[in-house]
Chain A
Amino acid sequence: MTPLARIFARYLPASLVGPALALAYGAMTIAVLVASSNGTAPIIYIDVRGQ
């Protein structure tokens, strides 16, 4: 069980854990794809220079 699945299992009926996880993963993936289209601001800890 993943950490997120454990949290969902604590608050949701067993039959809803799978769909809730799928929904959460899908929403997070879409959010990341939309957010990353803006381009990532370089931070000092990411050791990629002179790109």
Chain B
Amino acid sequence: MITLSTMIVLAALLAVPLAWLVPGPRGIDAVAVLAAMVLAWVSPLGAAWIAGFSILLPPAMRWAERHGGRGWLAAVAVGLALAVFASAQLSHGIAWVGGAFFTLRLIHVIAEWWMEKIPAPGIAAHLRYQLFLPALFVGPVHRLPAFERQCARRRWDWPQFLSGAERVLLGAVSAELIGNVLIQHGRANIDAALQQVSPFLLDWVLSAFDWIALYFTFAGMSAIALGIAAMMGIVLEENFNKPWRARDLLDFWSRWHISLTNWCRDYVYRPIMALTRNTAIGLVAAMLAIGLWHEISAYYVLWSVWQSLGVVLSRTVLPRLTVPVSPHLRAVLAPVAILGWLALARPVITLLFKAVQ
């Protein structure tokens, strides 16, 4: 059976000729129309929310600019976006496509407009940004000014088109073959072989496998999105920068899902830092935003605390350890230690839940 995500990827591939057949800058507008139709088919409620808010926001922004209600509109729009995001996350059974990424892009537009860094976008510009089909449900959380520049400069380029097509294929290999089959096969074998060890240790090892599978699947899906965008003549922001080469946890989070990390840095960490002048509070708030964006649950609140603790320890305790380690050994040990910490979150939180019950 074809999954919803596979269907949207196929629709995005079908949108590539559309982006070139419709002349001039309207090509990406045509992609947005197709995205709205796909969304309306698979998730009418989600389509109404995303398209409706994208259409209503620009005139509301211009009205607020004329009548002096910039702050009020920004607060109400962000509050509404977060409320709808939270209710969609918490209500099961409603088909929902792209809502989490839409919320991040929407807050980006509102925040940049509120800080007067960008003018209120036109309705067409806002729609083609929010409904860019390749990035709709898997990111990256691209930025409006860069996207508009890409749309304006877009022109047919064979090498870019072929490199994009190749990237789609390599991304599919990473997501489907490596992440979804090979790593899962290894995970199942390890699961069967380690039945005698303690449940805590087994969950730790399986959690490490899940992180590796997550990397190949998510990086693969991101490559598919970036590849299809490149086939349309649009260069989007990268989402991964060799996370296995990270030196510590903070470095890891700056290499993993980069567009989300940058979003949290700009719209959570920096404002909290400006208010409190406390790095730790800013860090926990940013990690909490990342955690709750994944899922609104007690598990992800604790997950955020765990990851914040890891970052703090890696920046305070690790530099004080004076054990001499060669650069080569460090290049091997650092990713193993990072994976160990990331994977340890699940068994530790599970243990905490069991202790509380």
Chain B residue with Cβ nearest A33 = B176
Interface flags for B65-88 (1: CB within 8 Å of A; 0: not) read: 000000000000000000000001
A31-B173, A35-B181, A40-B176 known; A48 vs B137 contact (CB < 8 Å): yes
* Complex CA–CA separation, A14 to B288 (angstroms): 53
A22 within 8 A of B: no
Number of A-B contacts (CB under 8 A): 99
- For B166, list chain A residues within 8 Å (CB): 2-4, 25
**Stretch from B96-104, B125-133, B145-153 that touches the partner:** B96-104
Chain A residue with Cβ nearest B163 = A2
A39 touches B162 (CB 8 A): no
Interface residues of B (CB under 8 A from A): 1, 3-6, 8, 42, 88-89, 92-101, 136-139, 159, 162-163, 166, 169-170, 172-173, 175-177, 180-181, 184, 213-214, 217-218, 221, 257, 294-295
Interface residues of A (CB under 8 A from B): 1-4, 25, 28-29, 31-32, 35-36, 38-41, 43-51
Chain A residue with Cβ nearest B239 = A45
Closest CB-CB distance, B112 to chain A, in whole Å? 22
B97 touches A38 (CB 8 A): no
* Complex CA–CA separation, A51 to B5 (angstroms): 9
In order of increasing CB-CB distance, the 9 nearest A-B pairs are: A35-B176, A51-B4, A49-B96, A35-B177, A2-B166, A47-B137, A32-B172, A45-B218, A35-B181
Closest CB-CB distance, B210 to chain A, in whole Å? 9
- For B184, list chain A residues within 8 Å (CB): 41
A43 touches B98 (CB 8 A): no
Closest CB-CB distance, B215 to chain A, in whole Å? 10
